[in-house]
Each structure stands twice: as structure tokens, then as C-alpha cells.
Amino acid sequence: MQATGPERLTREIKSLLARRCVAGQCSKQCLLSELAVSLASLVVMEKSWRLWGALERCMVTVGSLSWGACRISLLVLILTFHLHGGLLLLGLILASVAGILYKFQDVLLYFPDQPSSSRLYVPMPTGIPHENVYVRTKDGVRLNLILLRYTGENPAAAPTVLYFHGNAGNIGHRVPNALLMLVNLKANVVLVDYRGYGKSDGEPSEDGLYQDAEATLDYIMSRPDVDKTKMVLFGRSLGGAVAIRLASVNPHRVAAIVVENTFLSIPHMAATLFSFFPVRYLPLWCYKNKFLSYRHVAQCRMPSLFVSGLSDQLIPPVMMKQLYELSPARTKRLAIFPEGTHNDTWQCQGYFAALEQFMKELLKSHVQEEQSQGSASVTII
């Protein structure tokens, strides 16, 4: 998070005081004069920063309005260019086409209406203790969650799996998979519908999905009936990118991550799907949604499991191997299923055995940490 002006001033003053005191130069008069000079320079920097921020926002607003006008008047521009020509009209046509393609990226990535009833009907689990919950994100969007409760032996100590699904359907379509997780992993399972999916409000976007993930984690961490030290993130396909990013910015709240058949980034996927066009040479700012998992995974040092179905026809399995290699985690595993497809790897033989083994290793290390901390607290007086 970027520091505000007052925070930066306070930080600089503290730094200056520390440097002067360490150097043994704590003369009151000298210190006050240096503080005055530092404050004056920082105030000037702060004003410049605010001016540049306002100018940048104005430029973005003007650019977006111009782009919208170009998209609306594309047909008129083409007809006028055909009749009169001109470099300016050609530039406006190219800008409008770029704007349409930029906006069209959402249509290519998010499919909340597939199948067609996904926004109307969300199947609920039956015969299993569960809660249908609504939470709000920091920007006020209401999200729908389903919490499947583990009620077996010692439920208060059970881990909790936060399940982030792919780019189509809703959480109800993932209930069968989640129930098997509950039974095999002896864990609570929380499913969340991103904004614009299922019964959640809003429209999907990259930043919006990140906020949805944060809101889900905040809600679960606020509950007194779950073990906050055993939060495990699970993400499949697009959900893998959401899980990786959430883990990267919450290293002290996330115990482990499990990602399945996910990608390096949207630019990498674009270069794979549209290899006939020089998409690989487009700069990052051309992409409305980036999901740069190959960068975020480098910040995930918690235990990590990468699940790859080699029969995935949508996302190249090599991307899962690359994410595994990029991970700096000391405890990381790569589980490969030769017959696993993009959405159905969880139905392969040995799938839940791999997840269960990973969870056992995680819980074992967790117990060892608690024991070592306990012994340390006894010996330190």
C-alpha cells in the first residue's frame, strides 16, 4: 500500500532523528534547523506528487472518454475515411478498434452465464452441515459464499480450504468436488462466487476478483469457530491465479496453497491461443486483465502443491511445471495426472490421495512448529 503524505513525513522525521542520534549529533538548534529544511523539501515533493496524481487521473479520464466516443462512432469514421481519407481519421479508426478489442477481453475471459442458468440458480448441498453466507467487499460489492462444515473428530482444529473456481459457472457446480474435499481432507471448505457470478453482485474484473478473494479471507479469519493458522487456498484454472495472488500478499495468514491447471499469465495464454497473430509482442498495457501469476508465485514461500493434468487441452501443462519451478517454497510438490483434463483432473485416480498426503505433511509440520514454540516458551525466562 502506498504511504500517504503525512505517513511519509512522519517516516522521514523518525529516520532523521535516528541518524542524528546514532551519529551523536543531538544538538537541539542544529536538529531543529535540519528538520525545518527536511520538512520544507518534503512539502514541496508532496505537492508535486499530488499535482502529478491529479494530472494522471485527468489524462486517464480524457483518454477513456475519447476512446468511448471513437468506439461509438466507428461506423461514421469508416464511412468518412472511405470518402475523404486522412491520417487523423485513420488514427481515430485504429484507436476505436483498439478500444473495442480492449473491452472485448472481458468477453473472452469471463463466462458467468455458462451454462445459461448460472446467474439464476445455484445448487446447494443437501444433507451436509453448511451455511449460505453473503459478505461485502471493501468497495461495497455483495458476494455469495457457501461454507461446508467439517463435523468429524475435533472439528475446531480442522483446516479450512478456500476454494476459488474457474471462469465459468457458479459455486453450486463445484459442490460435488468440494464435498469430496471435505471428506478426504477432513477440512472445512469455503466456496466463493466472484462478483458477477452466481448470486454475487457486480461485474467481474481482475482487481475486482482480487478484492473478492481478500473479502473472503477476511470473513473466514473473523470467525471464532475456525482455526486461523490452517488456512489453505485452492484454485483451479482462473481461480489458481486468484489464489496465488491472494497468498502473495497474505504470507502470514495463508498456511499453504494448492493450484490446479492454471496459467502463467493472461499475456502468456494470449500468445498460446492466438499464435497466428504477433500477440506475444504486445506490451502489458494492452491487456485489461493480466493475472501475472508468474510474478506473484515468486512471493509465495508457504508450502505449495501444483496439480497438473497432462491432457488439458486449454492451458498448456508446461505452464504448471513452470509455476512449480518458479515457486521459492521450501516445501513444494508437483502432482501429475496423465489423463487429467482441464476441468476433470479431480476425477482421476490418486487425485485426493495426493491432496491428502500434502495436507498430512502440512499438519505434521504445523504440529512440530507448535511443539518447538511451546518448548521455547518454557526455556525462555
Q: What is the pLDDT of residues 48-96, one digit of tens each?
A: 656 766 676 676 566 556 555 555 665 665 666 666 667 776 666 666 6
- Among 311, 342, 344, 365, the active-site one is 342
Task: Please tell me the distance from the alpha carbon of residue 100 to that of residue 72, in angstroms, as a whole number.
Answer: 10
**373 or 323, greater pLDDT:** 323
Quick one: 131 exposed, middle or buried, by C-beta within 10 A (0-12, 13-18, 19+)?
exposed
251/245 Cα distance (integer angstroms): 10
- At residue 297, φ and ψ (nearest 5 deg) are -65, -25
Answer yes or no: 222 catalytic: no
| Residue ranges making up the domain that contains 191 | 130-372
* Rounded CA separation 358/182 (Å): 15
With a cut of 80, say whether residue 111 has pLDDT above it. Answer: yes
pTM summary value: 0.75
- Claim to verify: residue 98 and residue 165 sit in the same structural domain: no
SS3 231: strand
> Is residue 203 domain-shared with residue 338, that is, in the same domain?
yes
Based on the domain organization, do 86 and 141 belong to the same domain?
no
- The active-site residue out of 96, 205, 268, 312 is 312
The yes-or-no answer on residue 372 being catalytic is: no
CB contact at 8 A, 101 and 109: no
Instruction: Give the residue carrying C-alpha cell 490446479.
Output: 260
Q: In this structure, are 95 and 39 located in the same domain?
A: yes
302 within domain boundaries: yes
| Residue with the larger pLDDT of the pair 76 and 197 | 197
Rounded alpha-carbon distances, angstroms, from residue 300 to 33, 46, 244: 45, 34, 7
- DSSP conformation class of 186: T
Are 279 and 146 contained in the same domain?
yes
Confidence band, pLDDT 50/70/90 cuts, at residue 32: low
Of 237, 293, 304, 327, the active-site residue reads: 237
Is 82 one of the catalytic residues?
no
pLDDT at 358 over 80: yes
- Count of domains for the chain: 2
